[in-house]
Structure 1
Amino acid sequence: MDRRQFLFASLAAAASPLAMRGAWAADTYADAFHQATARDRWLRAYGGIDHDVAAPSLRIEGRIPAGLRGTLYRNGPALFERSGIRYHHLFDGDGMVQAFRFTENGVSHEGRFVQTPKFLAEQAQQRFLQSGFGTALPGLPFATGGGLDRANVANTNVVVHARRLMALWEGGSAFELDPVTLATRGPVTWRPDLKGMPFSAHPKIEPDGTMWNVGAIPDSLAIYRIAPDGTLAQAEVLKVPGLVMNHDFAVSRDHLVFVLPDTRLDLDKLRAGRAFLEALAFPPDAPMKLLVVDKADLRQQRTFELPPGYLFHFGNAWNDGAGTLRFDYVHHESAGVLMDGLPGLMRGDAASMPPRSAVSMQVAVDLASGRVRTAAMKDVVEFPRVDPRVVGQRNRHLWLSTGMGKGLGTLMMNAVLRYDVESGKRDAFRYEPEALVEEHVFVADRASTREGAGWLVGCAYDVAYGRTSLNVFDALRLSAGPIARAWLPYGLPPGFHGNFEAA
């Protein structure tokens, strides 16, 4: 399967150094951003850092539960500037993996950059050597002469499977890390003919340890099934008409579930020197495609329509035993956050952030009749998580980040929320008036098998003090507030995703 160029070769050629001559003569993002931080100090969280960090013993308020032992791994973009040049999109920053270790002696923290070939080459020269997904830099190509792994920033998620710790990015290989030192071991190749193929950032691990993942190719989806022991059990490529931009998916007992926005690519914009992202368009009135794939036979596929919009993340999916597939995802009215909001964030333009409109969408698909029903929750949310013991099964609880109140809460997430999807009840906690809240991760209490028995663990950046806290909640009593907080002596750029590995 020589798809390791993933049909991206022609796209990369269009974004060659010759094409980049039309890019900006001078970069203004860095100056604009730093000037804006004097006015909107919360932007300082996105200034980035340029070195590894460590704190062997964090100051703790409250008491860490005795059953909470292990490591919370987090990942996200952290390095945004070199030699006065700033990336134009949040997704372009080099990935830093965080390890928060819970032991009987307390909580420690370590953050290390993933040593990708891109990072090492640019670190050696102290300047950017190529353009990014959302940043066109004059004279610098985007991932030519080596496939997309040349541009791999390993900045989106980090997962442990079969004792292997992997940093993940949308468009290329997983990078294996040492789980103790966080040292980078190198790219993961599942099979020789799959070298360099996209291995996306949102794998789904079923309760039996089977891991499913996908890789988006311009006109296809690569499907991976990894056995509980970490060996590749299956890899197939499914043809999907049109340009495929797929960030996340869901898995049920019987199906793989994809929601695919209508995506267009303007090659003329690439040739004119625009970034790959800037050459994309998402027609606002076009329905999204719901693709349902039979896990037992990947050739068995059905397509349905969902309302126009955009999405990043799923919560969970399950088959109800009566012929209905149920799942939830976070529905955005448009791709405005991706296309306008995150570039605006990088230049310090808070006014460019679109009004928050993302809501949890509950979907029921009658597989016999083809009828699709949707119901939107009222809260504006992102980053849904479920108890990992019910992935692919019926879940009652759904944890999310949300924004509450006025001020910063109208732009960014400042609270955590739990939905009881059966009763419709909600339980929430709002952080300090000026707090930037990341995805929070559910950690099961191994002393109980009851869904939801455990803790919700996640980071918040305190704007007033410029420091990050790690917070622990009783997962079923969020409104009671954190039962423990571990304070870092420094601030971390807000990350994307992570997972907990029990000791």
Structure 2
Amino acid sequence: MPSATGHTTKSHPHSTTHLLGPGYRPVADETAHADLAVRGTLPPELDGTFLRIGPNARGEHDPAVQHAFAGAGMVHGLRLGGGRAHWYRNRWLRDGTVSRELGELPTPGPRRGLDGHVNANLVHHAGRTLAVTDGGTLPLVLDPGLRTLARTDFDGTLPGGFGAHPLTDPVTGELHAVAVDPAGDGALLLTVDVEGKVREALPVPVKGRPWMHAFALTERHAVLFDLPVAHDPAEARAGSPVPYSWRPDRDARIGIVPRGRPGSAALWLDVPPCFVFHPVNAFEDADGRITVDVIRHERAFDRDRLRPSESAPALWRWTLDPREGAVVEHRLDGRVQEFPRIDERRTGLPYRYAFTVELVPGDGAALCGPALLRHDLTTGRTDRHAFADGRQGGEAVFVPRHALAPEGDGWLLTLVYDPAADRSELAVVDTADFTGPPVATVPLPVRVPHGFHAQWVPSRW
């Protein structure tokens, strides 16, 4: 069956059934709803817009044979402020294909690079909210009403594509990303200054086009993941919109790249074969050792090329010793989980709390689960916030209570799907009572498909 990009993807015999449930079905229409009801009390400090992004295939869609990560990007937003939920709306991201299908004029901006679907992540930087994705596709700029305004190459300073998981340095305010060349070997470690222009593009040689979906940052280094999921020419020839697979011939290694030192070579350290979609955080000590916490998959896209379904991802820690060329790894928590978030004021710094989505064992790397987990990495304690009555929640974004609040003191916001009603709701969890019920929920008159990543944009946008 044709996919959203017009290709046919071969179904693999060991595909599992997760990501096929009703909560994953695409929605057919753009909608807008104002003055939403609120159950409980929305904290008045939450003054901004909650955003969520993910693939939302247009037209015919059969998740049994189409890649789970393909499909036109759709962004969902809820505007909060003054203790009220002012509106919910959803909008397709206007890449070239979607604009043509809707009969609209092309989105303005540079036309170079790939024109693929932008459906992976959102970031707010230099006064602009951007939708971003892997590969050579340029970011899209969104307005406060979620309309796609333009493509951007950061005023001509971006030499190629961007990355799906940029990170903001909380000390400098600069934005960092890793972009892999989809047409050849090599990666670029990008630094975008506070004015929104690329200040540095450091080449990092890699072979075989690995899928570097994300990276980690410390005060002095970037940490890259060159792991055995890489470009698969056979999948590309077959027309897969996501032509990557498990390549057992590839080594698994972690690269340590000094920041702000042009020409510095990466130091590569070997690790056992695995794959990482999402690091949690990284930091370094006075002796140069680097701690990297990740959600570690045993493998991905091997027997099942359509979904990351083949292992039970868990929370692991790698301790890197560049002087000894050694890596020590151990599991921090064995529960099946994904979509880690932290208090982003601690990005690249020593930190205490990690928040993840608990998944159902046997469902592989699904996009939702029955609970949120809070890991206290100082005490080793893990708390669980369970969603009631069979509801399933996705990635939660953390919002601090105020600018000087202690780490992890604030609220977690996540979209939760109620299968009984076939509707979604925004849940607001106060970390001061993490295991208790949400302090507020905002029921939506529609279902929001389980998607990828969430973002909070303060009202000063």
Give your verdict on TM over 0.5: yes
Residue 260 (structure 1) aligns with: 226
* Counterpart contact for 2:321–2:327, Cα < 8 Å: yes
Aligned-residue offset at 1:150: 2.1
2:355 pairs with 1:399: yes
Letter in 1 for 2:316: M
Structure number with higher helix proportion: 1
Structure 1 pair 324/417, CA: closer, same or farther in 2 (3 Å)?
A: same
Letter in 2 for 1:384: P
Residue 488 (structure 1) aligns with: 444
The CA RMSD over aligned residues, in Å, is 3.1
Residue 279 (structure 2) aligns with: 314
Residue 370 (structure 2) aligns with: 414
Residue 371 (structure 1) aligns with: 326
Residue 73 (structure 2) aligns with: 95
Deviations 1:381-401 (A, max 9, x none): 101111011111001000000
Residue 336 (structure 2) aligns with: 380
Deviations 1:56-79 (A, max 9, x none): 12221111112221111221112x
Aligned-residue offset at 1:48: 0.7
Deviations 1:123-143 (A, max 9, x none): 339xxxxxxxxxxxxxxxxxx
User: 28, 40, 54: which one pairs with 1:62?
Assistant: 40
Q: What is the alpha-carbon distance in structure 2 between the residues aligned to residue 340 and residue 111 of structure 1?
A: 29
Residue 132 (structure 1) aligns with: none
Letter in 2 for 1:399: F
User: 216, 239, 249: which one pairs with 2:180?
Assistant: 216
State the TM-score, normalized to the length of structure 2.
Answer: 0.86
Q: What is the alpha-carbon distance in structure 2 between the residues aligned to residue 444 and residue 338 of structure 1?
A: 41
* Counterpart contact for 1:95–1:155, Cα < 8 Å: yes
2:77 pairs with 1:114: no
Q: What is the alpha-carbon distance in structure 2 between the residues aligned to residue 41 and residue 169 of structure 1?
A: 20
* Counterpart contact for 2:367–2:452, Cα < 8 Å: no
Aligned-residue offset at 1:230: 1.8
Structure 1 pair 492/268, CA: closer, same or farther in 2 (3 Å)?
A: closer
Deviations 1:293-351 (A, max 9, x none): 000214231000112111210111111222211111110011048944639xxxxxxxx
Residue 3 (structure 2) aligns with: none
Q: Which runs of 5+ in 1 are unaligned?
A: 1-16, 126-145, 344-352
Aligned-residue offset at 1:415: 0.9
Letter in 1 for 2:89: E
Residue 108 (structure 2) aligns with: none
State the TM-score, normalized to the length of structure 1.
Answer: 0.80
User: 31, 36, 41: which one pairs with 1:53?
Assistant: 31
2:115 pairs with 1:160: no
Structure 1 pair 387/338, CA: closer, same or farther in 2 (3 Å)?
A: farther
Q: What is the alpha-carbon distance in structure 2 between the residues aligned to residue 316 and residue 88 of structure 1?
A: 32
**Tell me, what secondary structure is at the counterpart of 2:402?**
coil
Q: What is the alpha-carbon distance in structure 1 between the residues aligned to residue 450 and residue 79 of structure 2?
A: 18
User: 98, 106, 114: which one pairs with 1:149?
Assistant: 114
User: 82, 88, 105: which one pairs with 2:59?
Assistant: 82
* Counterpart contact for 2:423–2:444, Cα < 8 Å: yes
Structure 1 pair 213/408, CA: closer, same or farther in 2 (3 Å)?
A: closer
User: What is the number of equivalent residue pairs in this alignment?
Assistant: 438
Residue 168 (structure 2) aligns with: 205
Aligned-residue offset at 1:269: 5.3
2:266 pairs with 1:296: no
Residue 465 (structure 1) aligns with: 421
Residue 347 (structure 1) aligns with: none
Structure 1 pair 92/461, CA: closer, same or farther in 2 (3 Å)?
A: same
Q: What is the alpha-carbon distance in structure 2 between the residues aligned to residue 477 and residue 405 of structure 1?
A: 26
Letter in 2 for 1:481: P
Structure 1 pair 166/270, CA: closer, same or farther in 2 (3 Å)?
A: closer
* Counterpart contact for 2:320–2:326, Cα < 8 Å: yes
Letter in 2 for 1:259: F
Letter in 2 for 1:368: R
Residue 348 (structure 1) aligns with: none
**Tell me, what secondary structure is at the counterpart of 1:222?**
strand
Structure 1 pair 323/409, CA: closer, same or farther in 2 (3 Å)?
A: closer
Structure 1 pair 468/269, CA: closer, same or farther in 2 (3 Å)?
A: closer
Q: Which moved more, 1:425-434 or 1:451-460?
A: 425-434
Q: What is the alpha-carbon distance in structure 2 between the residues aligned to residue 461 and residue 442 of structure 1?
A: 19
* Counterpart contact for 1:76–1:497, Cα < 8 Å: yes
Q: What is the alpha-carbon distance in structure 1 between the residues aligned to residue 295 and residue 413 of structure 2?
A: 21
Residue 329 (structure 1) aligns with: 294
Letter in 2 for 1:165: T
User: 226, 230, 247: which one pairs with 1:283?
Assistant: 247
User: 115, 128, 139: which one pairs with 1:174?
Assistant: 139
2:316 pairs with 1:361: yes
Q: What is the alpha-carbon distance in structure 2 between the residues aligned to residue 90 and residue 251 of structure 1?
A: 28
Residue 156 (structure 2) aligns with: 192
Residue 251 (structure 1) aligns with: 217
Aligned-residue offset at 1:53: 1.6
Q: Which runs of 5+ in 2 are unaligned?
A: 1-5, 105-110
Q: Which moved more, 1:421-430 or 1:475-484?
A: 475-484
**Tell me, what secondary structure is at the counterpart of 1:120?**
helix
* Counterpart contact for 1:452–1:476, Cα < 8 Å: no
Residue 10 (structure 1) aligns with: none
Deviations 1:7-28 (A, max 9, x none): xxxxxxxxxx9xx8xx68xx99
Structure 1 pair 259/91, CA: closer, same or farther in 2 (3 Å)?
A: same
